[in-house]
């Protein structure tokens, strides 16, 4: 993992975000030793969920690269940089927990070589001097969207599974992701006092990040974790599997939460009269995507 050297964090007065690791509770609350691995029941593993969990472990393990990217984007703001480093530790632990579970479910799964395959083909620009979202506040909006998305992802998969260890792993990770959302939202509020990016810009960033879930990262992680060595990468097929299987397990309550918290990050009122309609539409789209994939997989 690269350091924050180029930005040097010596000047505390440059920080726009006051991060207190103790008060803000972002330090890891659990370790892999807290997971009851001996309660694993192989016959209760859903093979489709296993494929998705393997892919998710690779994305989570890449948290260090995301921290490097955030440190570059928030150059000169030691508060956010420290938050990014602590946050990445938790994300990497998520990857380790999911990877260990996947190895129990499939002893042939080689986490380290799958991760090497993933990072060989998917690279972040960790030295970006500016956020791909156009502003630092925009970057924080996007992070909020990712965190509420991942929290619902693990909640949906965990509740759909009957394997007790996976249920426990997902429960802990989903709770962590919600804390991450709160932390990035807190940072966003402080940044918005300085960067007036406007509601429309926030909405566009939020929508953009939601639709990015169809992009390369998840699809390539699914390929790296599951494809045979001689298989070539077909983005659409792997995206279909990754998102379709996941969406088919989403319940209305998961979508309601994603919509409400995404609206909040975008600067909109989750209690507005039209908000339930947005949630209904989102649920319809998610179910449609899940059904379309089920059809594609069947053929």
User: Which is closer to Fe ion, CB of 46 or CB of 147?
Assistant: 147
Q: Tell whether residue 65 is a contact of Fe ion (CB under 5 A).
A: no
Rounded to whole angstroms, how far apart are CA atoms 94 and 180?
13
Q: Tell whether residue 177 is a contact of Fe ion (CB under 5 A).
A: yes
Question: CB of 200: closest distance to Fe ion in angstroms?
Answer: 27
Angle, helices 199-211 vs 252-265, to 10°: value is: 140
Rounded to whole angstroms, how far apart are CA atoms 137 and 133?
8
User: Which is closer to Fe ion, CB of 94 or CB of 209?
Assistant: 94
Considering only the stretches 22-30, 175-183, 243-251, 257-265, report the one whose residues sit in contact with Fe ion under the rule CB under 5 A: 175-183
User: Which is closer to Fe ion, CB of 60 or CB of 240?
Assistant: 60
Considering only the stretches 5-13, 109-117, 169-177, 226-234, report the one whose residues sit in contact with Fe ion under the rule CB under 5 A: 169-177
Question: CB of 92: closest distance to Fe ion in angstroms?
Answer: 9
Q: Tell whether residue 217 is a contact of Fe ion (CB under 5 A).
A: no
| Cα Rg of the chain, angstroms | 19
Question: CB of 15: closest distance to Fe ion in angstroms?
Answer: 22
Question: CB of 60: closest distance to Fe ion in angstroms?
Answer: 5
Task: Give start and end residues of each alpha helix (H) in 106-135.
Answer: 111-121
Phi-psi region of 253 (alpha: psi -120 to 50; beta: other; left: phi over 0): alpha
Q: Tell whether residue 180 is a contact of Fe ion (CB under 5 A).
A: yes
End-to-end CA distance of the chain: 42
Question: CB of 173: closest distance to Fe ion in angstroms?
Answer: 6
Residues whose CB is less than 8 angstroms from the CB of residue 166 and which lie 6 or more positions away in sequence, other chains included: 45, 49, 53, 101, 105, 157, 158
Rounded to whole angstroms, how far apart are CA atoms 224 and 122?
10
Q: Tell whether residue 172 is a contact of Fe ion (CB under 5 A).
A: no
Q: How does DSSP classify residue 14?
A: G
User: Which is closer to Fe ion, CB of 94 or CB of 201?
Assistant: 94
User: Which is closer to Fe ion, CB of 70 or CB of 278?
Assistant: 70
Number of residues engaging Fe ion in binding (CB under 5 A) = 6
User: Which is closer to Fe ion, CB of 82 or CB of 94?
Assistant: 94
Contact 136, 194 (CB under 8 A): no
Considering only the stretches 147-155, 239-247, 249-257, 265-273, report the one whose residues sit in contact with Fe ion under the rule CB under 5 A: 147-155
Which of 91, 163, 217, 240 binds Fe ion (CB under 5 A)? It is 91
User: Which is closer to Fe ion, CB of 97 or CB of 278?
Assistant: 97
Contact 165, 37 (CB under 8 A): yes
Q: Which of 36, 79, 47, 3 is nearest to 226 (CA)?
A: 47
Determine the Cα angle at 98 with ends 104 and 160, to 5°: 90
Q: Tell whether residue 94 is a contact of Fe ion (CB under 5 A).
A: yes
Q: Which residues bind Fe ion (CB under 5 A)?
A: 60, 91, 94, 147, 177, 180
């Amino acid at each position: 993992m690269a350091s924050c050297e180029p930005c040097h964090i010596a000047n505390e007065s440059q920080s726009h975000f006051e991060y207190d690791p103790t008060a803000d509770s972002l330090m890891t609350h659990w370790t892999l030793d807290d997971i009851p691995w001996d309660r694993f029941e192989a016959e209760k593993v859903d093979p489709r969920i296993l494929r998705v969990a393997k892919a998710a472990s690779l994305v989570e393990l890449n948290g260090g690269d995301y921290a490097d990217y955030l440190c570059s984007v928030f150059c000169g703001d030691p508060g956010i940089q420290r938050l990014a480093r602590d946050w990445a530790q938790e994300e990497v632990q998520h990857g380790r927990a999911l990877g260990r579970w996947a190895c129990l479910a499939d002893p042939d799964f080689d986490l380290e070589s799958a991760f090497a395959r993933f990072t060989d083909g998917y690279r972040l620009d960790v030295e970006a001097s500016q956020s791909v979202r156009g502003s630092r506040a925009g970057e924080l909006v996007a992070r909020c969207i990712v965190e509420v998305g991942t929290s619902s992802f693990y909640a949906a998969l965990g509740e759909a599974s009957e394997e007790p260890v996976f249920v426990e792993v997902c429960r802990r990770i989903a709770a962590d992701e919600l804390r991450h959302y709160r932390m990035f939202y807190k940072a966003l509020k402080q940044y918005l006092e300085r960067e007036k990016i406007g509601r429309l810009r926030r909405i566009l960033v939020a929508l953009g990040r939601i639709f990015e879930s169809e992009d390369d990262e998840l699809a390539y992680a699914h390929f790296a974790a599951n494809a045979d060595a001689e298989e070539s990468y077909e983005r659409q097929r792997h995206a279909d599997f990754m998102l379709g299987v996941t969406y088919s397990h989403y319940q209305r309550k998961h979508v309601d939460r994603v919509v409400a918290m995404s609206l909040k990050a975008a600067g909109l009122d989750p209690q507005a009269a039209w908000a339930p309609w947005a949630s209904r539409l989102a649920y319809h789209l998610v179910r449609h995507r899940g059904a379309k994939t089920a059809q594609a997989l069947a053929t």
